[in-house]
Structure 1
Amino acid sequence: MAIEQGPPTAEDPWPVALLGAKLRDWIDRLGVAWVEGEITQWNVAGGNVYGKLKDIEVDATVSFSIWSSVRSRVPSDLKQGARVVAAVKPNYWVKGGSLTMQVVEMKHVGLGDLLERLERLRRALAEEGLFDPARKKRLPFLPHRIGLITGKDSDAEKDVKRNAQLRWPQVEFRTVHTAVQGDRAVAEVTAAIQELDADPEVDVIIVARGGGDFQNLLGFSDEGLVRAASAAATPIVSAIGHEADRPILDEVADLRASTPTDAAKRVVPDVAEELANVRQARARLGLRLSHTLSVEADRIAALRSRPALASTAWLVDTRAEEVARDLSRARELLDRRIERSHSEVGHLTGRLRALSPRDTLRRGYAIVQTSSGAVLRGADELDGATPVHVTLGTGTAVGTLEADGPGPDGSGPDGSGS
């Protein structure tokens, strides 16, 4: 029966079969397309494979199917978590109304391509300074609680806890179990880092996983996960894979451990070793102190044996002569000074006496003063009987004087009083 091909309207709609056929024909014209992604689901049923392929960068997923006739041509080790490129042909199933991607060919992504992408990311992060040693935080000497991110019941978890508790039995863990490969690994590990970093009781975070192939470790080179680790304030230890493995998380982490066992040994100090170090330090300190005391005791004994300290009398004996000599000299100088001063006093006394008015009076002279205290120097200064005060060589006298004619020098004749 011919199917009407005219444009559909409300009055003349298409049958569902016609719409399905048009979709099938249009999708068939798309042909085969090569896509890249990560296998997040891989189910085998009746020889066929039904799975899902997730975009590497964004949240986008498509379903795919691999028929048994094609399965023999794809690698036998493909499984969930593998990163692949696939040639797919879109197919619309009209009867079921579903769109599927039929895989024509599928293979692992070339390691060269992956390594090139990782190297570009590594260089970009290095240029930002995320690998700078100056950014790396110092691990605490003795962490009281360790945050552990690892797979549930994994050998990595057992290795870390067993070795840590053997070295320091009191150490505590806060463990967050996450997927360590596959499509959930990046989101869960990132969330676990942020959760443990927000816990103030967690002193250090260990991200641990056992060995694995290159592709299984790709999640630990995811840019988002790496940036979350770089932004954490809590020191992070990366213990991913083995010595030869080097995911980008190792470069950003504050400490890179080659294995989970190595992480436990480097994060937790050995109590027996630390006690031995303390005993050795105490022994060295005791020896050093004993040696210092012995040396100082010998030095004090040597000082005490010196004559200067053996007997203090020598200080007086050696200075006695100097003291006696200085005392004799002082006495001599003092006597000489007294004698010279005595002579100077006698000389000054003689001069004073020679100039003294009293000695002149003792030779027979007198000082005549009026009652007002004026000294009389001539008879012309007398006005009749004038009261006078006479100072003699010894004592004084009072009386009156009266002029009696001029003397030889124009004064009174004899200066006699009445």
Structure 2
Amino acid sequence: MTSFEPAPGQTPPPDAVRPRDSSPDTPTSISRLNETIRGFVSNWGSVWVEGEITAWNLRGGHVFGRLKDATGEAMISFRLWSSTLQRLPDDLKTGDRVVACVKADYFVKTGDFGFTVSAMRHTGLGDQLERLERLRAQLRAEGLFDPARKQRLPFLPHVIGLITGERSDAEKDVHRNAELRWPQVRFRTVHAAVQGERCVPETIAALKTLDADPEVDVIVIARGGGDPQTLLGFSDERLLRAVAAASTPVVSAIGHENDHPLLDDVADVRASTPTDAAKRVVPDVAEQRALVEQLRSRARSRLTQRIGHDIAQLEQLRTRPVLRDPESLLTARAHELWTLTSRGRDAAWRPVDAADRQSAQLRASLRALSPGATLARGYAIAHIGDGVIVRDAGQAPAGTQVVVTVAEGSFAAVSEGAVAEAG
């Protein structure tokens, strides 16, 4: 550029440098020149570019890198601020082919020209990633990610089913780490392609074979790390639904910590690496022995403590007076019982004695008022017919049959009539 005249449609920045404003006698300042350049650059909009990441340096939470054109003849520098980096895929690295949305920027102080990235994704993965996100949402809505449907791993599996690539590092890692933790561990391995077109059908076939084996207690699907394109088979809907339908617990051990195919969400357990899968599936025999010894020690200590406590409590009970002299309690209770019995007897006989005395008094009164007492003194009672008592001599004229009652019985008599009273 030999002049700083604005292009058609562009508004020149205030105080822009123009050719007529400078000469050998009246040069402009570098600061004004850079401000003019920056003003023009700031009018440029964002543009999507495609290239290969050749540098990826993380400093202070920001990324400073370079993108190389497919021809290899052009290159740009770019910056990724931390706020933008958080929204990007976490597996971006040097060597990846990407498409990026960049906007030109010019630094006034240093005169450096670069680009700021506002979006970036892997080349060719855009549509695939979108399909995967739709599938992820569908499977989540169906409940395939629900923790409630996932099976627990057995404590110590009799046989571990392993699906992995033939002679792969993943197979060696699982075997080595599992055998270090439990030397007697047994494996039933079915090899399958772990990438490409054969990956999904062979993995599903291996899964069905191991799931139908009654000796297999858990199935591990393992693969080493790789770029997202090579791991797409482990996000295939056919494989995911086969894993969800398996009756045997399935462990997903695909790639490294940052790799996250959909199989991780559908499987019963997600292991970050094949090594981690071995640690999750097989217990450590040394740890288990230490745990058993610890439990034995705790049980022994608890039992000793309990026996000591019971012995002390028994000794305390034996020192109580009632246990030192049990008969004293019986003697006191016997005396109390005798006292209560005496009181009960007195309370029961007191009204009886009172009734006896009252009865005697009544008998005496009746005896005093009874005609028998009068008869006992020599008196008699004369009766005529029908038991009528003779109270007047005129009631018994001469010849009247009379019954005379005395103190000791009765006898019959004949009335001789009234007798004159002695003068």
TM-score by length of 1: 0.61
More displaced 10-residue stretch of structure 1: 242-251 or 293-302:
293-302
1:237 aligns with 2:251: yes
Partner of 2:274: 260
1:404 aligns with 2:417: yes
Extract unaligned runs of 5+ from structure 2.
1-69, 72-96, 98-121
The separation in 2 between residues aligned to 1:203 and 1:329, in whole angstroms, is 82
CA contact (8 A) 2:396 2:417 kept: no
Report the CA distance shift for 1:200/1:370 in structure 2 as closer, same or farther (over 3 A).
farther
Partner of 2:387: 374
Partner of 2:229: 215
1:299 aligns with 2:309: no
Alignment of 1:6-405 (within 5 A): 110-312=124-326, 315=329, 340=354, 343-369=357-383, 374-377=387-390, 389-397=403-411, 399-402=412-415, 404=417
Q: What's the CA shift for 1:350?
A: 1.6
The separation in 1 between residues aligned to 2:172 and 2:400, in whole angstroms, is 147
Report the CA distance shift for 1:377/1:140 in structure 2 as closer, same or farther (over 3 A).
farther
Partner of 1:60: none
Q: What's the CA shift for 1:327?
A: 8.3
Identity across the alignment (%): 56
The separation in 1 between residues aligned to 2:190 and 2:279, in whole angstroms, is 20
Q: What's the CA shift for 1:321?
A: 8.4
Q: What's the CA shift for 1:283?
A: 1.1
**Residue 269 of structure 1 aligns to a residue in which SS?**
coil
The separation in 2 between residues aligned to 1:200 and 1:383, in whole angstroms, is 137
Report the CA distance shift for 1:337/1:143 in structure 2 as closer, same or farther (over 3 A).
same
Over aligned residues, Cα RMSD in angstroms? 3.8
How many residues in Structure 1 have an aligned counterpart in Structure 2?
Answer: 303
TM-score by length of 2: 0.60
> Counterpart amino acid of 2:366?
L
Q: What's the CA shift for 1:278?
A: 1.7
**Residue 189 of structure 2 aligns to a residue in which SS?**
strand
- Superposed CA deviations along residues 53-102 of structure 1, whole A, max 9, x for unmatched, are xxxxxxxxxxxxxxxxxxx99xxxxxxxxxx9xxxxxxxxxxxxxxxxxx
**Residue 191 of structure 1 aligns to a residue in which SS?**
helix
- Superposed CA deviations along residues 179-222 of structure 1, whole A, max 9, x for unmatched, are 11111110111222233333443322111122233222110011
The separation in 2 between residues aligned to 1:299 and 1:233, in whole angstroms, is 55
Q: What's the CA shift for 1:228?
A: 1.6
- Superposed CA deviations along residues 254-301 of structure 1, whole A, max 9, x for unmatched, are 101122222122112223322321221121011112112212322232
The separation in 1 between residues aligned to 2:279 and 2:206, in whole angstroms, is 22
**Residue 183 of structure 1 aligns to a residue in which SS?**
coil
- Superposed CA deviations along residues 224-263 of structure 1, whole A, max 9, x for unmatched, are 1112212223211001112221111011111011222221
- Superposed CA deviations along residues 318-355 of structure 1, whole A, max 9, x for unmatched, are 77987898788789878977875564344223212123
Extract unaligned runs of 5+ from structure 1.
1-71, 74-83, 85-107, 408-412
Report the CA distance shift for 1:330/1:140 in structure 2 as closer, same or farther (over 3 A).
closer
> Counterpart amino acid of 2:175?
K
> Counterpart amino acid of 2:142?
E
